[in-house]
Amino acid sequence: MEFVIEMNNIRKEFPGIVANNNITLQVKKGEIHALLGENGAGKSTLMNVLFGLYQPEKGEIKVKGKTVKITDPNVANELGIGMVHQHFMLVQNFSVTENIILGSEPTKNGSINIKLAANEIAELSKKYGLAVDPYAKIEDISVGMQQRVEILKTLYRGADILIFDEPTAALTPQEIKELIQILKRLINEGKSIILITHKLKEIMEVCDRCTVIRKGEGIGTVNVADTNEEQLAALMVGREVNFSVDKVDATPGKDVLVINNLTVHDARNIPSVVGLDLTVKAGEILGIAGVDGNGQTELIEAITGLRKAKSGSIKLNGKELINHSARKITEAGIGHIPQDRHKHGLVLDFSVGENIVLQSYYKQPFSKFGILNFNKIFEQAKKLIKEYDVRTPSEYTPARALSGGNQQKAIIAREVDRSPDFLIAAQPTRGLDVGAIEFIHSKLVEERDKGRAVLLVSFELDEVMNLSDRIAVIYEGKIVDIVDPKTTNEQELGLLMAGGKREREGVS
């Protein structure tokens, strides 16, 4: 049996945690090998060990049968290992060519020979079907093309073992299809691929074998042909998981949030929400499906007062709120679980308690005459920590010290406890493990059942389909259609998200 990569009994520690314990991964030549695990299971750590960014404490690595020590990415490159990172490792204001040749630039009389490099890149991109513009700047090209640049970086260095770290996370359904074609083409050209993912469907579709790790421990390797999604899920989580969300049918009430003809410009002053109409009713979860960058962020920012809208109307229970201050909007009864919990949701250096009162610190009982009442603040924090099962040493612990799931729980506790009439949940489960995802989903359904209006924005189509009572599809800043999750399917949504039209009549 020929293995191109053998990682045997790898152990990697960080201060306080063992990220990888006794993990073995063996990749055959010419296969697509999945590395499956939940967020935080240790997949990226293992791959960073293989790529030379980390040194393991124990274990051995063999590449093409030879025992090697991969001390830095240069060594990995020389061994033919290339990595396509989840967060693209691209310099935004460099050109495609400059990014690809960085570190191994062809020169002529001491200066970089850009022309030669660009030609080489054009050739490579033809050979592998990776369309890129060698002279374009990274900041001006699409996410899909950026990923192709990442792949070209590895090919330019002659890699024949490619690691893909969650490559579909930022892609549209169409782009995912294209990527799968690219992967197959790479295999045909004699490359071997390691695909890091937590998406079972993708594994079933393209992979030959799958190694599962859970909480830093190696669980084992299975042939994909001999297994199914349920089994893989059970291996990954360690128990039976039911990905569908338990909920009864919604009983929608009156209109809570009504948006009319809303137009919002983005940071570069380009219209990104264009004449958008949307209504969310009491007692329903309205999911917004769409590819990242179609105006979701600006829509949320306009509703919550974080970005000025150009025109239109946003009414909550009949009261006009457009371009009011964030504080007024919060007080009017809008809760917001933000997309990026580290950037917007929490002050990481504040204690959990201080974060719990982040929007209400100036109100009684948390303060009086401008003087804070810490007893009351931490009392409230203690109460919510218990109710929402936030695992933290204490309410005085800095939010930074909590795990992602518990940070998100703290935010949800804060937002839901204010019992807002309208709750926005933007990417509420991004990067969380299955347990936390289940908890958050059940909380959102619970709020719906209490009669609140919930707006769910997520780039995970499964989540939108499982959780929503209605799905609004956003494309280029407009709601192009509203569909019933019970009667739609992924193909139809994918088409709508890409700007296509539905054949039958709209449901809304």
Binding site for another protein (CB under 8 A): 48, 51, 53-54, 72-74, 77, 83, 85, 87, 89-94, 98-99, 101-105, 107, 110-112, 153, 304-306, 325-328, 330, 336, 338, 343-350, 354, 358-359, 361-362, 367, 370-372
Of 38, 26, 6, the C-alpha closest to 213 is: 38
Which residues share a beta bridge with 257?
A: 280, 316
Closer residue to another protein in complex, CB, 319/450? 319
Closer residue to another protein in complex, CB, 106/129? 106
From the CB of 348, what's the least distance to another protein, in Å?
7
Closer residue to another protein in complex, CB, 330/488? 330
Listed in sequence order, the residues at least 6 apart from 55 whose beta carbon sits closer than 8 Å to its beta carbon are 49, 71
For residue 259, give the 3-state DSSP assignment.
Answer: strand
Supply φ then ψ for residue 261, to 5 degrees.
50, 45
Burial class (CB in 10 A: 0-12, 13-18, 19+), 113: middle
Closer residue to another protein in complex, CB, 319/342? 342
From the CB of 440, what's the least distance to another protein, in Å?
19
- For residue 163, which amino acid is it? I
- For residue 496, which amino acid is it? L
- For residue 98, which amino acid is it? E
Of 238, 193, 186, the C-alpha closest to 212 is: 238
Closer residue to another protein in complex, CB, 234/306? 306
From the CB of 367, what's the least distance to another protein, in Å?
5
- Give residue 224's region: left, alpha or beta (phi > 0; psi -120 to 50): alpha
Closer residue to another protein in complex, CB, 343/504? 343
**Spatial contact of 289 and 413, defined as CB atoms under 8 Å apart:** no
User: Please, how many CA atoms are within 13 Å of residue 374, restricted to the half-sphere of its CB?
Assistant: 5
From the CB of 170, what's the least distance to another protein, in Å?
15
Closer residue to another protein in complex, CB, 370/506? 370
Listed in sequence order, the residues at least 6 apart from 495 whose beta carbon sits closer than 8 Å to its beta carbon are 502
From the CB of 215, what's the least distance to another protein, in Å?
20
From the CB of 83, what's the least distance to another protein, in Å?
7
From the CB of 366, what's the least distance to another protein, in Å?
8
